[in-house]
Amino acid sequence: VQLQASGGGLVQAGGSLRLSCVATLRTFGSYNMAWFRQAPGKAREFVSLIAWNSWTAYADSVKGRFTVSRDNVRNTVYLQMSSLAPEDTAVYYCAAGLTTSRATRDFDYWGQGTQVTVSS
């Protein structure tokens, strides 16, 4: 199983980015897909989740600015990020699991991460 995240980059504060994560999961449609992020010197934290039935959850810090979606035909999950701020700077990881937990330990598969840097 592989999860390949992409779409990160350098953006100015107030800008937008869309992250993508393609998963080689045979039963992608059965998995809950999540995004986490890790800033330098900090623990990895939950950002957003989209369940197999498209139910979504967001961290309070990104609610109203980020939108998660999925395409079960393309085995891809997206994270549309808007109104980005310097504190959003981090490596963003996608993860797959059969849980709706926000804990990293509860996810089975992880992507390699994509760097998002927001300049002020």
**pLDDT attached to residue 1:** 86
Nearest by Cα to 11 from 20, 3, 19, 21: 19
Separation in Å, CA 119 to CA 7, 64, 77, 86, 104? 17, 20, 25, 6, 27
Nearest by Cα to 39 from 80, 88, 82, 4: 88
pLDDT tens for the 120 residues of the chain, in order: 899 999 999 999 999 999 999 999 999 999 999 999 999 999 999 999 999 999 999 999 999 999 999 999 999 999 999 999 999 999 999 999 999 999 999 999 999 999 999 999
